[in-house]
Structure 1
């Protein structure tokens, strides 16, 4: 290996002539001997010194090489305005005073309130010692209170389905409610509630627990669709309504509409279920699981105890973007956005760049502080747990029976509502992860065909209470969250129970490209079908 010139210069330094030792003059023998010894000692000392110096210089050269010149990067670093926006929001929220808190109020204007002082036992053993239901009404209740329609909401909707005198803001079903509309207020008294577990005035995780004066957060008990319906039936009792003219709902509301009929068939005159299902299926469960995971992974979520601090707005934004993908359809987006970019004159970016990306980003931004994150977790989980099959209903009824004594004891004040040793608040993940099992192509094909054409006997048994209830079941072919086959399953199952008054309508893509959100947008086909069915 060649030695660098600089290193050679260090190893063999030149000594200036002026510093070299002069030749000594002739001396006496003894003096010469002493002088020779002196010179020899000096030479040895110089040799040792120079050797140590050379070793130190060589070592220094080896350990600390001459620094390489610094150049600019070949490419500039990308900018990330989408992340800047999230960080800026966090900084803004952290500057708010502790008195006001960063949490929004989650209200949509003035509404009515029903407050129940009577505790309610929930399906999985939890207890709400008291609860509030926010609701709004349109039209007038007739003298015998027989014209009431209970309108059930989707996951994130409030009770504000239509504008009122005290809250003129347009509601989420504004065009569907009113004189001459599908829910005709000249004929019907329409009631819409915010579900328990929600955050628009009804009791939910952001509400104060009367037991300790603190917000429930994730001390709030697990809910089911049936729990939400039981709370609504309490409201009907309060209003003196013994039987509904109709139970109407879309999406999650379509699930609740069926649940109301199964729980209290004697109180439901007819059922409308739009873009719903009789039991949650794996795809929709998977999508809601993903939304919950991105929310719970936000460090600001703090296992649900973020009230008074910075809410997990970043996780909420991502959760809403995922949800929006499932709410709308590919065909609509192809027509609406295509592959167009927001600004083709600029180079591509990792932040929202295509029009579809900017649309999703806007949807997440608009919603991330408008809904309580914990409510999203609890209400979406209730959707996952939904199953009107008889086997599931038997299991839940058994759990309720086992916990019935706890409710009575709590009502009498004999035991605390919370049991630290209860297993309803614990979860043990399996030691062995899921493993895919091999299945032959023939078995797989048979399974798919059976699922497509056969109605499960378990579901027929579960929907048997609806055998005499007129029902409208409406689906949309472009819906990917609640595919049209799930509405066909409802209709076929109802028919198998012996129900002779089942109206099933499926809107093809030639009629609606709006996917799951069709129920919010299609006044002609969805609204027209509802109006015709209600009469």
Structure 2
């Protein structure tokens, strides 16, 4: 093989030499001198001739003036991010402690705080030996304490659902809470908490670990939606609320609302679940995954230990932009933005240029320094893990029993509990084998199984081929509970078929008290965010259901 390559190179060299008569005299002299230095057929002679050829044509290439063909494109959007990083770096450098720094306090005003000193065992083996729950209330608790409503939040919301005398700023559900509104404060005592894992006053990754005085960061244990609910019920115990009149929530809050009924069926009266699901599905898991990756890939994230330093604001901004795409709908954006550019009189830009791009950029800017990145990672992962199916509940119960035994054994043998450590390891790992593409035949076969087939997308009345038996069994604890399930046809994050799945699973389990409403695209184009905006459609249905 080597001899054939040498022969081929020699033939090319001979061809070049045969053209020497047509080449400039300088080139002929250069190649002649190199030919005399070594035998014409040797590899060394060939290499010398090739080098001589390259040197000659390099020397003959005209020198350019130095001016580029086109000016470099400017990126003011990247300049702004770099400027912010520099500002945050200076702020971090001016602080004396690694535990303070440029991060905001992540609070939205005055709240009440319940400090629980009883340990909380978590579903995946972690343990909080003490924790805070930030909460706010509206209305008055009646004499027999039977009019309490627990309002659950979405992923990034605080306990500030409505304005209070201590904090007059409008809350995230301002127009739904108050006299005569969806949550009528003339009738009900409304409680809203910041979830554990959050960053608005409740214990989360940005909180101080009492065992060593440093922030938890990614030493914080993995959470589930059910863990959040158990912490909330500790607060209810503290407030003397034995049974809720209703559990109400939208989006992640709708998941919590269902989980509250399943975990504490005797302590919950009515259940409202809006734009949620009973088990997370691949599309929403995928979208939350890329949001987390945007943060983890930000060099400032530093494995979660960025407190006192520059926070991963670039990754957070991108994560919020990705999320915002899922919160609204295509039809609304067609009407709101179309193909309009921010300034059609200017040349196109690679920074935000179309109106929809400027909208996403604005959403990311508002969010990137007002929510803790670690909280987003932990809470969104808890959403991914959510599954009220019977098999998952049974496996979780067995795992919790084993963890409880290990924690008790550790405490007995060491006489110490620590904060989150000391018991079983709390972590998630990569699978042993990476994902491999499936043959088409295997994919088609898997789609015919009940466990992977999405709920039949029938009408809003619930006509379908049936909900999965595993989910029917998992929701059986709610057989006697009045349940309101609402969905929105334009929702792409929690599509309306997922709410139909909840309603049908409840009905198949024998629940005759299910009310299911689905807002069509004609009724709402706002997609997933409809629960924040539609006071008449969403609010009216909730008010009517609560009575």
TM-score, length of structure 2 as denominator length: 0.85
Note closer, same or farther for the CA distance 1:409–1:234 as it changes in structure 2 (3 Å cut).
farther
Matched, 1:433 2:435: yes
Closer, same or farther: CA 299–398 of 1 in aligned 2, 3 Å: same
Q: Is the 8 A contact 2:126 2:425 kept in 1?
A: no
Equivalent in 458, 461, 474 of residue 486 of structure 2: 474
Residues 351-396 of structure 1: CA distance to partner in whole angstroms, max 9, x if unpaired? 1110000000000011000000000000000000000000000000
Change (3 A) 1:397 1:68: same
Aligned counterpart, 2:354: 354
Q: Is the Cα contact below 8 Å between 2:125 and 2:423 reproduced in 1? A: no
Give the 5 Å matches for 1:330-341. 330-341=330-341
2:210 is the alignment partner of 1:210: yes
Aligned to 2:234: 234
Q: After superposition, what is the alpha-carbon deviation per residue over 1:55-79, rounded to whole angstroms, capped at 9, x for unaligned?
A: xxx9997497266322422221111
Q: Which runs of 5+ in 1 are unaligned?
A: 12-57
| Partner residue, 1:318 | 318
Q: Write the distance in 2 (CA, Å) between the matches of 1:325 and 1:476.
A: 16
Which residues in structure 2 correspond to 1:355-394 (within 5 Å)?
355-394=355-394
Matches within 5 A, 1:5-404: 62=56, 65=59, 68-71=62-65, 72-96=67-91, 97-99=94-96, 101-404=101-404
* Structure 1 counterpart SS, 2:159: coil
Any runs of at least 4 consecutive aligned residues in structure 1 with deviations exceeding 4 A, and if so which? 2-11, 58-64, 409-413, 415-423, 440-450
Change (3 A) 1:63 1:423: farther
* Residue deviations 1:104-149 (CA, integer Å, cap 9, x gap): 1000000000000111000111001110000000001001111000
Offset at residue 512 of structure 1 (A): 0.1
Classify 1:396/1:65 alpha carbon distance in 2 versus 1 (closer, same or farther; 3 Å): same
Q: How many Å apart are 1:438 and its aligned residue?
A: 1.6
Provide closer, same or farther for how the CA distance between residues 245 and 94 of structure 1 changes in structure 2, counting only shifts above 3 A.
Answer: same
Kindly state the Cα deviation for residue 245 of structure 1 after the two structures are TM-superposed.
0.5
Q: CA deviation at 1:429?
A: 3.1
- CA distance in 2: counterparts of 1:60 and 1:142, whole angstroms: 93
Q: Cα RMSD between the aligned structures?
A: 2.5
Q: Which has the larger radius of gyration?
A: 1
CA distance in 1, matches of 2:57, 2:336: 63
Contact 2:113 2:132 in 1 (8 A): yes
- Aligned-pair CA distance for 1:8: 9.2
* SS of aligned partner of 1:65: helix
What is the CA-CA distance between 1:411 and the residue it aligns to? Answer: 6.4
Q: Once the two structures are superposed, what CA deviation does each residue of 1:166-211 show, in whole Å capped at 9, x if it has no partner?
A: 1000000000001111100010000000000000000000001111
Q: Within the alignment, does 1:457 sit opposite 2:451 as a pair?
A: no
CA distance in 1 between partners of 2:199 and 2:391 (Å):
32
Residue 460 of structure 2 corresponds to none
Unmatched runs of 5 consecutive residues or more in structure 2 = 1-19, 32-51, 457-464
Partner SS state of residue 178, structure 1: coil
The Cα shift of 1:294 comes to: 1.0
Number of aligned residues: 491
- Kept in 2: contact 1:161–1:173 (CA 8 A): yes
1:314 to 1:141, Cα distance in 2 relative to 1, 3 A:
same
